[in-house]
């Protein structure tokens, strides 16, 4: 998703992060993931950079329209310096959130460093059609099914800064969500043909009525 966070909110987040403290990320790695995780994560966050990131992401109209989010975990901010990597792993299916459990339908990585500022550090996602390597400009995000195996390749130069979060959608089924996203993109492509756009919009609205669960807006840090 290009420029999920635009220049001004991104500058605000960067200023807040400059006062944050990073610590060994292994402490938050579940199960076997701790054996393959080598990075640092924001622990002490006096300027609430993570909350600012969450507000910026949640407030993006494209994020709301495409993903139909129900709840989202406050992003985790990770830092990779030379020699750090995160081997293949799968995200946990449920995340504690405010005394309940959030179902991790989708995972999102938001890139916070320009790609030319570091070597390596690509996010590799294993999809049904094969592996996909992702390294995006600062402010861009990639969103993928949370049940995909994925890894972060070793950084060999510079610093890779990124935020990761998990999203529960009001549409539980991945294939149904994919169809709705395809419809949204089709509608955007035929805006000049008002009749076609309206008909496609009606189809999408009726599918959401059929598939969506009740929504409770909530953004909070996981335990």
Where do the domains of the chain lie, and which CATH numbers do they carry?
A: 7-171+214-220 (2.60.120.620)
Q: What is the pLDDT of residue 219?
A: 62
Per the rule left: phi > 0, alpha: psi between -120 and 50, beta: everything else, 185 is alpha
Q: What is the pLDDT of residue 29?
A: 76
Residues of the chain with pLDDT under 50: 223
Q: What is the pLDDT of residue 63?
A: 94
Longest dimension (CA), the chain: 55
pLDDT tens digits, 41-83: 999 999 999 999 999 999 999 999 889 999 999 999 999 999 9
Q: What is the pLDDT of residue 217?
A: 62
Rounded to whole angstroms, the Cα distance separating 86 from 109 reads 13
């Amino acid at each position: 998703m290009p420029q999920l966070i635009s220049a001004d909110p991104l500058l605000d987040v960067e200023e807040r992060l400059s006062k944050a403290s990073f610590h060994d990320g292994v402490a938050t790695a579940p199960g076997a993931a701790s054996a393959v995780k080598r990075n640092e994560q924001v622990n002490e966050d006096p300027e609430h950079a993570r909350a600012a990131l969450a507000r910026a992401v949640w407030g993006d109209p494209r994020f709301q329209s495409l993903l139909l989010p129900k709840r989202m975990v406050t992003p985790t901010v990770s830092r990779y310096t030379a020699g750090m990597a995160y081997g293949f792993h799968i995200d946990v299916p449920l995340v504690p959130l405010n005394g309940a459990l959030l179902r991790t339908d989708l995972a999102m990585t938001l890139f916070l460093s320009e790609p030319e500022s570091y070597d390596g550090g690509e996010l590799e996602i294993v999809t049904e059609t094969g592996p996909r390597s992702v390294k995006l400009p600062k402010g861009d995000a990639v969103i993928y099914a949370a049940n995909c195996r994925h890894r972060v390749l070793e950084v060999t130069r510079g610093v890779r800064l990124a935020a990761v979060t998990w999203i529960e959608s009001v549409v539980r089924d991945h294939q149904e969500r994919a169809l709705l996203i395809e419809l949204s993109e089709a509608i955007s492509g035929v805006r000049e043909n008002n009749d076609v756009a309206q008909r496609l919009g009606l189809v999408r609205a009726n599918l959401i009525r059929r598939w969506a669960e009740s929504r409770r807006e909530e953004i909070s840090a996981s335990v």
